């Protein structure tokens, strides 16, 4: 039902539609708007021709200008790499312990180290390097294999119990599973280890365990159980536990052994990147 009428007040025609007595004026578009609209159409056609636009079945139209966002990204990445070449070279050629003397280089290494850590290391060590059971916390002052920046560098390069020929290896034997100790003996040693950091353990068991410890464990963990970095043997007398400090976990560790692996990164990452990560980890608060 449409009847175009002329509106008396404005002198404009109505659209002819009516909704519950409400009619709408057929006010024409402003000219500037129309011309802008036409211009965008012309622009769009031009755009189809010069820029990549239409999807095809297995490809898309390339456009006359040959623009490609992928190529742009590659170019930008190459430019970034080039701009960093000098500082990366300096990093490779500076002794790790001396990088700190060059604040600009040091800050570069820390910033880069943080993001490389997030990409490569955080999966096991956590995004804040706080670790977890079986994965050392890198913020604290307890180090299995040494906490100087060179030690950290070596650990990242060659890994621990990794498949690299220069890897460092320390074995925690499975004392019960491999029938080195009896069930009771394992239990006694557990009591002894707990007594190093806790009071009120079973005194008799502790005395028996101490004897077993001196025979079987002290060669790696040391006579006073303060650990040994040559074998990556943890300090058992401090407040930090690698796998957990409750009785059950310690028993399990002694009975079944432990052999977690830190991969070697020498083949996977650029030396400058490993150096950045080493400096970053060293800066987290526990570096020696």
Partner 1 sequence: MSNPPVEKIDVEAVNKKENRSLYVSRKQIHPKRAEGTFRRLKWIIMGITLAIYYVSPWIRWDRGAGAPDQAILIDFEHRRFYFFFIELWPQEVYYITGILILAALSLFLVTSLFGRAWCGYSCPQTVWTDLFVFVERAIEGDRNARIKLDKAPFSFSKLVKRVTKHTAWIVIGLLTGGAWIFYFADAPTLLRNFISGEAVPVAYSTVAILTATTYVFGGLMREQVCTYMCPWPRIQGAMMDEHSLIVTYHPARGEPRGPHKKNDSWDDRGHCIDCNLCVAVCPMGIDIRDGAQLECINCALCIDACDGVMEKVGLPKGLISYDTHEGSLKKEPVTKVKVPFIRGRTVAYTVLLALVGSIMTYALLTRSALEVNVIRDRNPLYVQLSDGTIRNGYTIKLLNKLHETRRYQVTIDGLEGSKAWLQSEGPRTEQLVVPVPGDSLSAVKLFIAAPRDVLEKGNHDIVVVVKDLVSGLTDTQDTTFKGPK
The CA distance from 65 to 84, in Å, is 30
46 part of the interface to partner 1, by CB under 8 A: no
Minimum distance of partner 1 from residue 197's CB (angstroms)? 9
- 144 or 160: CB nearest partner 1: 144
Neighbours of 266 (CB within 10 A): 15
66 part of the interface to partner 1, by CB under 8 A: no
- 144 or 250: CB nearest partner 1: 144
Length of the chain: 288
Size of the site for partner 1 (CB under 8 A): 22
Going from the C-alpha of 141 to that of each of 88, 98, 170, the distances in angstroms are 29, 21, 20
The CA distance from 140 to 239, in Å, is 11
- Name residue, tokens 């001196």: 214
Minimum distance of partner 1 from residue 266's CB (angstroms)? 28
132 DSSP assignment: B
27 part of the interface to partner 1, by CB under 8 A: yes
Minimum distance of partner 1 from residue 240's CB (angstroms)? 5
Minimum distance of partner 1 from residue 30's CB (angstroms)? 8
154 part of the interface to partner 1, by CB under 8 A: no
Neighbours of 53 (CB within 10 A): 14
283 part of the interface to partner 1, by CB under 8 A: yes
271 part of the interface to partner 1, by CB under 8 A: no
18 part of the interface to partner 1, by CB under 8 A: no
139 part of the interface to partner 1, by CB under 8 A: yes
Alpha helices in 165-245 (DSSP H): 183-195, 203-216, 218-221
Using the rule CB under 8 A, give the single segment among 52-60, 136-144, 181-189, 200-208 that binds partner 1: 136-144
28 part of the interface to partner 1, by CB under 8 A: yes
137 part of the interface to partner 1, by CB under 8 A: yes
Which pair of structure tokens corresponds to residue 181? 């100790």
- Name residue, tokens 């095809």: 56
- Give me the sign of the Cα torsion angle 9, 15, 18, 22: negative
- Which positions touch partner 1 (CB under 8 A)? 11-12, 27-28, 31, 126-130, 137, 139-142, 235, 238-240, 283, 285-286
């Amino acid at each position: 039902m449409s009847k175009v009428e002329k509106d008396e007040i404005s002198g404009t025609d109505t659209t002819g539609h009516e909704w519950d007595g409400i009619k709408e004026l057929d006010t024409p578009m402003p000219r500037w708007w129309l011309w802008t609209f036409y211009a965008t159409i012309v622009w769009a056609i031009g755009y189809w021709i010069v820029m990549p636009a239409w999807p095809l079945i297995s490809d898309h139209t390339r456009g006359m200008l040959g623009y490609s966002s992928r190529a742009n990204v590659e170019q930008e990445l190459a430019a970034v790499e080039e701009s960093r070449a000098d500082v990366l070279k300096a990093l490779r050629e500076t002794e790790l312990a001396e990088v700190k003397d060059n604040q600009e280089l040091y800050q570069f290494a820390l910033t880069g180290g943080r993001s490389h850590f997030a990409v490569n290391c955080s999966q096991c060590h956590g995004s804040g390097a706080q670790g977890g059971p079986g994965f050392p916390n890198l913020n604290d002052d307890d180090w299995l294999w040494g906490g100087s920046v060179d030690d950290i560098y070596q650990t990242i390069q060659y890994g621990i119990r990794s498949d690299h020929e220069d890897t460092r290896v320390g074995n925690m034997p499975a004392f019960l599973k491999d029938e080195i100790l009896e069930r009771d003996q394992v239990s006694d040693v557990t009591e002894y280890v707990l007594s190093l950091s806790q009071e009120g353990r079973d005194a008799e068991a502790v005395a028996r365990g101490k004897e077993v410890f001196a025979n079987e464990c002290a060669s790696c963990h040391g006579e006073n159980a303060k650990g040994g970095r040559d074998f990556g043997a943890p300090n058992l007398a401090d407040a930090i536990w690698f796998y957990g400090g409750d009785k059950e976990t310690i028993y399990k560790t002694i009975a079944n052994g432990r052999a977690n692996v830190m991969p070697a990164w020498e083949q996977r990452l650029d030396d400058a990147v490993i150096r950045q990560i080493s400096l970053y980890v060293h800066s987290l608060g526990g570096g020696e």
